[in-house]
Chain A
Amino acid sequence: MNRDDEPERAPEDGRLIDAVERAFRPDPMDPARRAAFRSALEARLERRARGGRWLASGVAAAAAAAVALWIARPEDATPVQASASGAELYAFIDPEVPEYTRYLPDDYQALALMIETDPEGGP
Protein backbone atom coordinates (compact mmCIF):
# COMPACT_ATOMS: atom_id res chain seq x y z
CA MET A 1 0.00 0.00 0.00
CA ASN A 2 1.50 3.29 -1.04
CA ARG A 3 1.13 5.88 1.68
CA ASP A 4 3.43 8.49 0.14
CA ASP A 5 0.49 10.67 -0.71
CA GLU A 6 -0.77 10.69 2.87
CA PRO A 7 -1.24 14.10 4.44
CA GLU A 8 1.15 15.18 7.15
CA ARG A 9 -0.35 14.78 10.59
CA ALA A 10 0.70 16.96 13.49
CA PRO A 11 1.04 15.11 16.83
CA GLU A 12 -1.97 17.01 18.23
CA ASP A 13 -4.06 15.98 15.23
CA GLY A 14 -2.87 12.42 15.75
CA ARG A 15 -4.16 12.53 19.33
CA LEU A 16 -7.50 13.92 18.16
CA ILE A 17 -7.87 11.26 15.47
CA ASP A 18 -6.91 8.44 17.82
CA ALA A 19 -9.42 9.66 20.39
CA VAL A 20 -12.18 9.81 17.77
CA GLU A 21 -11.22 6.39 16.42
CA ARG A 22 -11.36 4.78 19.86
CA ALA A 23 -14.52 6.46 21.09
CA PHE A 24 -16.66 6.61 17.99
CA ARG A 25 -17.56 3.02 17.23
CA PRO A 26 -20.88 1.23 17.01
CA ASP A 27 -21.83 -1.12 19.78
CA PRO A 28 -20.29 -4.51 19.15
CA MET A 29 -22.82 -6.95 17.73
CA ASP A 30 -23.60 -9.74 20.15
CA PRO A 31 -24.20 -13.27 18.79
CA ALA A 32 -27.99 -12.74 18.73
CA ARG A 33 -27.67 -9.58 16.63
CA ARG A 34 -25.18 -11.25 14.31
CA ALA A 35 -27.58 -14.13 13.82
CA ALA A 36 -30.45 -11.70 13.19
CA PHE A 37 -28.32 -9.82 10.65
CA ARG A 38 -27.37 -13.06 8.87
CA SER A 39 -30.89 -14.47 8.78
CA ALA A 40 -32.37 -11.16 7.57
CA LEU A 41 -29.80 -11.03 4.78
CA GLU A 42 -30.43 -14.67 3.83
CA ALA A 43 -34.18 -14.07 3.79
CA ARG A 44 -33.77 -11.07 1.49
CA LEU A 45 -31.47 -13.02 -0.83
CA GLU A 46 -33.90 -15.92 -0.95
CA ARG A 47 -36.86 -13.61 -1.56
CA ARG A 48 -35.01 -11.94 -4.40
CA ALA A 49 -34.00 -15.27 -5.94
CA ARG A 50 -37.61 -16.50 -5.72
CA GLY A 51 -38.87 -13.24 -7.22
CA GLY A 52 -36.38 -13.63 -10.06
CA ARG A 53 -37.51 -17.21 -10.71
CA TRP A 54 -41.18 -16.15 -10.76
CA LEU A 55 -40.38 -13.30 -13.11
CA ALA A 56 -38.42 -15.63 -15.43
CA SER A 57 -41.26 -18.19 -15.47
CA GLY A 58 -43.80 -15.43 -16.10
CA VAL A 59 -41.82 -14.07 -19.03
CA ALA A 60 -41.32 -17.60 -20.43
CA ALA A 61 -45.06 -18.36 -20.09
CA ALA A 62 -46.03 -15.09 -21.77
CA ALA A 63 -43.59 -15.77 -24.62
CA ALA A 64 -44.94 -19.31 -25.05
CA ALA A 65 -48.53 -18.04 -25.11
CA ALA A 66 -47.62 -15.43 -27.72
CA VAL A 67 -45.96 -18.08 -29.92
CA ALA A 68 -48.96 -20.43 -29.51
CA LEU A 69 -51.37 -17.67 -30.50
CA TRP A 70 -49.23 -16.80 -33.50
CA ILE A 71 -49.13 -20.41 -34.69
CA ALA A 72 -52.85 -21.01 -34.10
CA ARG A 73 -53.99 -17.87 -35.86
CA PRO A 74 -56.53 -18.49 -38.74
CA GLU A 75 -54.95 -18.69 -42.18
CA ASP A 76 -57.64 -16.76 -44.10
CA ALA A 77 -58.58 -13.42 -42.92
CA THR A 78 -62.34 -12.86 -42.80
CA PRO A 79 -63.36 -10.45 -45.58
CA VAL A 80 -64.72 -7.17 -44.52
CA GLN A 81 -68.52 -7.30 -44.47
CA ALA A 82 -70.46 -4.60 -46.22
CA SER A 83 -72.45 -2.65 -43.74
CA ALA A 84 -76.18 -3.09 -43.58
CA SER A 85 -76.71 0.56 -44.44
CA GLY A 86 -74.57 0.16 -47.58
CA ALA A 87 -76.62 -2.89 -48.70
CA GLU A 88 -79.85 -0.94 -48.18
CA LEU A 89 -78.51 1.92 -50.21
CA TYR A 90 -77.75 -0.35 -53.17
CA ALA A 91 -81.21 -1.94 -52.92
CA PHE A 92 -82.87 1.47 -53.41
CA ILE A 93 -80.95 2.39 -56.51
CA ASP A 94 -83.19 2.37 -59.51
CA PRO A 95 -81.16 1.52 -62.61
CA GLU A 96 -83.76 3.30 -64.75
CA VAL A 97 -83.15 6.67 -63.15
CA PRO A 98 -80.17 8.58 -64.55
CA GLU A 99 -77.29 8.47 -62.15
CA TYR A 100 -77.09 12.15 -61.30
CA THR A 101 -80.73 12.23 -60.22
CA ARG A 102 -80.08 9.56 -57.62
CA TYR A 103 -78.31 12.16 -55.56
CA LEU A 104 -81.27 14.57 -55.69
CA PRO A 105 -84.03 14.73 -53.07
CA ASP A 106 -87.37 13.18 -54.06
CA ASP A 107 -88.97 16.49 -55.12
CA TYR A 108 -86.14 17.37 -57.40
CA GLN A 109 -86.05 13.83 -58.80
CA ALA A 110 -89.73 14.23 -59.81
CA LEU A 111 -88.98 17.57 -61.49
CA ALA A 112 -86.02 16.06 -63.32
CA LEU A 113 -88.17 13.20 -64.62
CA MET A 114 -90.77 15.69 -65.90
CA ILE A 115 -88.20 17.75 -67.71
CA GLU A 116 -86.29 14.88 -69.21
CA THR A 117 -89.28 12.67 -70.17
CA ASP A 118 -91.17 13.78 -73.29
CA PRO A 119 -94.96 13.29 -72.70
CA GLU A 120 -95.42 12.51 -76.37
CA GLY A 121 -92.70 9.97 -76.33
CA GLY A 122 -90.26 12.08 -78.37
CA PRO A 123 -87.10 13.55 -77.06
Chain B
Amino acid sequence: MQIAVQTAMADVLRPMQAEAFAAFVEARRDRAVRVAYRMLAGDQAAAEDVAQNAFLRAHRALAGFRGEASIDTWFYRILAREVQRHRRWRAVRKLWSGDVEQAPPAADERAVGDPALRRRIGAALGALSPAQRDVFVLVHLEERTVAEAAAVLGKAVGTVKSHLHRALESLRSELADLRTEGPKR
Protein backbone atom coordinates (compact mmCIF):
# COMPACT_ATOMS: atom_id res chain seq x y z
CA MET B 1 0.00 0.00 0.00
CA GLN B 2 2.75 2.38 1.03
CA ILE B 3 4.73 1.43 -2.06
CA ALA B 4 1.71 2.19 -4.24
CA VAL B 5 1.35 5.65 -2.65
CA GLN B 6 5.05 6.36 -3.16
CA THR B 7 4.85 5.25 -6.79
CA ALA B 8 1.85 7.52 -7.37
CA MET B 9 3.69 10.45 -5.79
CA ALA B 10 6.75 9.76 -7.90
CA ASP B 11 4.55 9.73 -11.02
CA VAL B 12 3.22 13.18 -10.09
CA LEU B 13 6.65 14.55 -9.26
CA ARG B 14 8.48 13.07 -12.25
CA PRO B 15 7.25 15.55 -14.90
CA MET B 16 8.13 18.47 -12.58
CA GLN B 17 11.58 17.05 -12.00
CA ALA B 18 11.99 16.40 -15.71
CA GLU B 19 11.07 20.00 -16.48
CA ALA B 20 13.48 21.38 -13.89
CA PHE B 21 16.23 19.10 -15.11
CA ALA B 22 15.63 20.12 -18.74
CA ALA B 23 16.07 23.74 -17.65
CA PHE B 24 19.23 22.80 -15.76
CA VAL B 25 20.66 21.17 -18.90
CA GLU B 26 19.59 24.01 -21.17
CA ALA B 27 21.33 26.58 -18.96
CA ARG B 28 24.62 24.69 -18.85
CA ARG B 29 24.86 22.66 -22.06
CA ASP B 30 26.88 25.06 -24.22
CA ARG B 31 29.31 25.87 -21.45
CA ALA B 32 29.70 22.22 -20.49
CA VAL B 33 30.51 21.26 -24.08
CA ARG B 34 32.94 24.19 -24.35
CA VAL B 35 34.77 23.31 -21.11
CA ALA B 36 35.01 19.65 -22.11
CA TYR B 37 36.16 20.62 -25.63
CA ARG B 38 38.95 22.75 -24.20
CA MET B 39 39.97 20.19 -21.59
CA LEU B 40 40.09 17.52 -24.31
CA ALA B 41 42.23 19.82 -26.49
CA GLY B 42 39.68 20.20 -29.25
CA ASP B 43 37.76 16.94 -29.68
CA GLN B 44 34.23 18.12 -30.33
CA ALA B 45 32.47 14.73 -30.56
CA ALA B 46 34.13 13.53 -27.36
CA ALA B 47 33.25 16.82 -25.65
CA GLU B 48 29.56 16.35 -26.45
CA ASP B 49 29.65 12.74 -25.20
CA VAL B 50 31.41 13.78 -22.02
CA ALA B 51 28.93 16.62 -21.40
CA GLN B 52 26.05 14.21 -21.87
CA ASN B 53 27.58 11.70 -19.44
CA ALA B 54 28.07 14.51 -16.93
CA PHE B 55 24.40 15.52 -17.19
CA LEU B 56 23.38 11.90 -16.77
CA ARG B 57 25.48 11.57 -13.62
CA ALA B 58 24.23 14.90 -12.35
CA HIS B 59 20.65 13.69 -12.79
CA ARG B 60 21.43 10.62 -10.72
CA ALA B 61 23.22 12.63 -8.04
CA LEU B 62 20.91 15.65 -7.95
CA ALA B 63 18.83 14.17 -5.15
CA GLY B 64 21.96 13.91 -3.03
CA PHE B 65 23.09 17.49 -3.71
CA ARG B 66 23.30 19.07 -0.26
CA GLY B 67 24.18 22.60 -1.27
CA GLU B 68 27.63 22.50 0.33
CA ALA B 69 29.09 23.97 -2.85
CA SER B 70 27.38 26.10 -5.49
CA ILE B 71 25.46 24.00 -7.96
CA ASP B 72 27.83 25.14 -10.71
CA THR B 73 30.93 24.06 -8.79
CA TRP B 74 29.18 20.78 -8.05
CA PHE B 75 28.27 20.24 -11.71
CA TYR B 76 31.69 21.22 -13.06
CA ARG B 77 33.28 18.82 -10.61
CA ILE B 78 31.17 16.06 -12.18
CA LEU B 79 32.12 17.29 -15.65
CA ALA B 80 35.85 17.37 -14.79
CA ARG B 81 35.60 13.80 -13.49
CA GLU B 82 33.90 12.74 -16.71
CA VAL B 83 36.69 14.35 -18.72
CA GLN B 84 39.27 12.47 -16.65
CA ARG B 85 37.32 9.23 -17.05
CA HIS B 86 37.20 9.78 -20.81
CA ARG B 87 40.96 10.33 -20.92
CA ARG B 88 41.61 7.16 -18.95
CA TRP B 89 39.28 5.20 -21.20
CA ARG B 90 40.97 6.65 -24.28
CA ALA B 91 44.41 5.77 -22.88
CA VAL B 92 43.30 2.19 -22.14
CA ARG B 93 41.79 1.86 -25.60
CA LYS B 94 44.97 3.19 -27.16
CA LEU B 95 47.06 0.76 -25.12
CA TRP B 96 44.76 -2.12 -25.96
CA SER B 97 44.57 -1.55 -29.68
CA GLY B 98 48.07 -0.15 -30.09
CA ASP B 99 46.57 2.78 -31.96
CA VAL B 100 48.55 5.91 -32.47
CA GLU B 101 46.87 8.87 -30.77
CA GLN B 102 44.74 10.46 -33.43
CA ALA B 103 44.34 14.15 -33.85
CA PRO B 104 40.90 15.46 -32.96
CA PRO B 105 38.41 14.83 -35.79
CA ALA B 106 37.93 17.28 -38.56
CA ALA B 107 36.23 19.91 -36.44
CA ASP B 108 38.86 22.33 -37.62
CA GLU B 109 37.63 22.08 -41.17
CA ARG B 110 34.14 23.14 -40.13
CA ALA B 111 35.37 25.73 -37.70
CA VAL B 112 34.23 29.28 -37.59
CA GLY B 113 37.31 31.53 -37.58
CA ASP B 114 40.83 30.47 -38.40
CA PRO B 115 41.12 26.67 -38.58
CA ALA B 116 44.92 26.78 -38.65
CA LEU B 117 45.07 28.89 -35.51
CA ARG B 118 42.59 26.63 -33.82
CA ARG B 119 44.71 23.62 -34.75
CA ARG B 120 47.85 25.28 -33.40
CA ILE B 121 46.18 26.16 -30.13
CA GLY B 122 44.78 22.62 -29.89
CA ALA B 123 48.28 21.21 -30.36
CA ALA B 124 49.78 23.59 -27.79
CA LEU B 125 47.08 22.74 -25.23
CA GLY B 126 47.45 19.06 -26.09
CA ALA B 127 51.14 19.27 -25.25
CA LEU B 128 50.34 20.34 -21.68
CA SER B 129 49.82 17.72 -19.03
CA PRO B 130 46.12 17.04 -18.43
CA ALA B 131 46.31 18.67 -14.99
CA GLN B 132 47.96 21.80 -16.39
CA ARG B 133 45.41 22.00 -19.19
CA ASP B 134 42.44 21.59 -16.85
CA VAL B 135 43.69 24.34 -14.57
CA PHE B 136 44.51 26.68 -17.47
CA VAL B 137 41.07 26.13 -19.00
CA LEU B 138 39.18 26.71 -15.77
CA VAL B 139 41.11 29.72 -14.52
CA HIS B 140 42.19 31.57 -17.66
CA LEU B 141 39.59 30.58 -20.23
CA GLU B 142 36.51 30.00 -18.06
CA GLU B 143 37.41 32.73 -15.56
CA ARG B 144 37.05 30.62 -12.44
CA THR B 145 39.02 31.67 -9.40
CA VAL B 146 41.98 29.57 -8.32
CA ALA B 147 39.97 28.44 -5.29
CA GLU B 148 37.03 27.41 -7.47
CA ALA B 149 39.30 25.54 -9.86
CA ALA B 150 40.85 23.78 -6.87
CA ALA B 151 37.37 22.81 -5.63
CA VAL B 152 36.28 21.60 -9.07
CA LEU B 153 39.43 19.53 -9.61
CA GLY B 154 39.81 18.38 -6.01
CA LYS B 155 43.34 19.81 -5.76
CA ALA B 156 45.10 22.10 -3.32
CA VAL B 157 45.23 25.80 -4.19
CA GLY B 158 49.03 25.69 -4.24
CA THR B 159 48.98 22.80 -6.70
CA VAL B 160 46.59 24.69 -8.95
CA LYS B 161 48.84 27.77 -8.92
CA SER B 162 51.87 25.66 -9.76
CA HIS B 163 50.07 23.98 -12.70
CA LEU B 164 48.88 27.36 -13.87
CA HIS B 165 52.38 28.80 -13.86
CA ARG B 166 53.81 25.86 -15.81
CA ALA B 167 50.94 25.87 -18.30
CA LEU B 168 51.39 29.53 -19.06
CA GLU B 169 55.14 29.12 -19.36
CA SER B 170 54.69 26.37 -21.93
CA LEU B 171 52.07 28.30 -23.92
CA ARG B 172 54.25 31.41 -23.97
CA SER B 173 56.86 29.53 -25.94
CA GLU B 174 54.45 27.53 -28.13
CA LEU B 175 52.25 30.48 -29.04
CA ALA B 176 54.71 33.34 -28.68
CA ASP B 177 53.29 35.24 -31.64
CA LEU B 178 49.90 35.56 -29.93
CA ARG B 179 51.49 37.54 -27.12
CA THR B 180 52.56 40.31 -29.43
CA GLU B 181 49.98 40.39 -32.20
CA GLY B 182 46.23 40.33 -32.20
CA PRO B 183 44.63 36.96 -32.88
CA LYS B 184 44.46 35.86 -36.47
CA ARG B 185 40.87 35.73 -37.62
Q: Known contacts A5-B157, A12-B179, A45-B59: does B145 contact A17 (CB below 8 Å)?
A: no
Query: Which of the 9-residue segments B25-33, B83-91, B94-102 touches chain A?
Result: B25-33
Tell me which residues from 136 to 185 in chain B have a Cβ below 8 Å from any Cβ of chain A: 139-141, 145-148, 157, 161, 164-165, 168, 171-172, 175, 178-180, 182-184
Measured in the bound complex, the distance between the Cα atoms of B28 and A34 in whole Å is 12
Known: A23-B117, A26-B47, A41-B56. A15 touches B147 (CB 8 A): no
Contacts of A28 in B (CB 8 A): 30, 112
User: Judging by beta carbons under 8 Å apart, are B125 and A24 in contact?
Assistant: yes
Query: Does A16 lie at the interface of the complex (its beta carbon under 8 Å from any beta carbon of B)?
Result: yes
Given contacts A20-B121, A20-B141, A21-B140, 19 further A-B contacts (CB under 8 A): A2-B145, A5-B147, A16-B171, A16-B172, A17-B140, A19-B178, A20-B125, A20-B178, A23-B121, A24-B38, A24-B121, A24-B122, A25-B34, A29-B29, A37-B48, A40-B52, A41-B55, A48-B56, A48-B60
A-B contact count (CB 8 A): 99
Pair B29/A37 contact, Cβ less than 8 Å: yes
Give Cα A20 to B137, complex, Å.
10
Q: A residues within 8 A CB of B122?
A: 24
Instruction: Name B's interface SS.
Output: helix
Inter-chain CA distance A108–B117, complex, in Å, is 107
B83-134 contacts to A, CB under 8 A, are: 107, 110-114, 117-118, 121-122, 125
Q: What is the CA–CA distance of A34 and B165 in the complex, to the nearest angstrom?
A: 36
| Chain A residues in 8 Å Cβ range of B76 | none
Contacts of B42 in A (CB 8 A): 24
Asked if A41 and B25 sit within 8 Å, CB to CB, the answer is: yes
A38 at the interface (CB under 8 A from B): yes
Report the bound CA distance from A25 to B33 in whole Å: 9
In the complex, what distance in Å separates the CA atom of A27 from the CA atom of B81? 23
Whether the Cβ atoms of B56 and A19 lie closer than 8 Å is no
A32 interfacial contact with B, CB 8 Å: no
Residues of A within 8 A of B141 (CB): 17, 20-21, 24
Provide the residues of chain B in CB contact with A22, threshold 8 Å.
113, 183
Asked whether, in the complex, the Cβ of A23 is within 8 Å of the Cβ of B52, the reply is: no
Q: Is the CB of A7 within 8 A of B164?
A: yes
Given A22-B183, A23-B118, A41-B52, are A5 and B172 also a contact pair (CB < 8 Å)? no
User: CB of B37 within 8 A of chain A?
Assistant: yes
